[in-house]
Chains A and B, each alone.
Chain A
Amino acid sequence: SAVISQKPSRDICQRGTSLTIQCQVDSQVTMMFWYRQQPGQSLTLIATANQGSEATYESGFVIDKFPISRPNLTFSTLTVSNMSPEDSSIYLCSVAGQGQNIQYFGAGTRLSVL
């Protein structure tokens, strides 16, 4: 198993500002993912964080808006840039071992943009 620490757990931000969310894992993992979830709804994959290379973004998400870093196999950050109220959501990071068919999640970051 893997233990994931996500910071901050929640934040209230002003429109036009940026927030960086951190994801720390207690062991080295191959795959790290960032998701967005509206309260009570399902998860939408934002991107796969690749160690040592640029993240792979899903349709509808771009690097300028959601820059991602992954400097090593235990840490990643997601920045929500130039925020608007539409960015209010829960952001979750997860990790998986390739071929393990198991995915572990952090508790999420609840973001409110005023």
Chain B
Amino acid sequence: TQLLEQSPQFLSIQEGENLTVYCNSSSVFSSLQWYRQEPGEGPVLLVTVVTGGEVKKLKRLTFQFGDARKDSSLHITAAQPGDTGLYLCAGLTTSGTYKYIFGTGTRLKVLA
């Protein structure tokens, strides 16, 4: 069974602080996505990383895919209250069937 463990599970920080969310697995994925979900909405894609070692930046968010394509991290610089939400990583597996495996989730709250 393929599992994606995220840490931390919960995070409450003050506005302006930095944070990192980790997404780890023992399995290799074809690509890895990061989503943010707000209450009452479906997850919204933030970024997709495909190549081992790849780093992508989206304004204050920096995403990295591990060299072995088994893990990823999301770093937020100078967090804002608008960053509050549930962050989910999802690995794409194409061995056998084409499907996404979601991580356990990280709930972030940024206090003003």
A105 to B88, CA, bound (A): 13
A56 to B99, CA, bound (A): 10
B102 near A103: Cβ-Cβ < 8 Å: no
Q: Report the number of A-B residue pairs with Cβ-Cβ less than 8 Å.
A: 57
- Mark each residue of chain B from 60 to 89: 1 if its CB lies under 8 Å from any CB of chain A, else 0: 000000000000000000000000001010
How many residues of chain A get a CB closer than 8 Å to chain B's CBs? 25
Interface residue tally on B, bucketed by range? 20 to 34
Contact A48-B105, Cβ < 8 Å, known A101-B48, A104-B45, A108-B42: no
B90 near A103: Cβ-Cβ < 8 Å: yes
A24 to B73, CA, bound (A): 33
Contact A42-B98, Cβ < 8 Å, known A103-B90, A107-B40: no
A101 to B50, CA, bound (A): 8
A40 near B99: Cβ-Cβ < 8 Å: no
A31: contacting residue among B1, B98, B103, CB under 8 A: B98
A40 to B39, CA, bound (A): 8
6 CB contacts below 8 A, A to B, read A33-B99, A43-B102, A45-B100, A103-B33, A105-B44, A108-B42
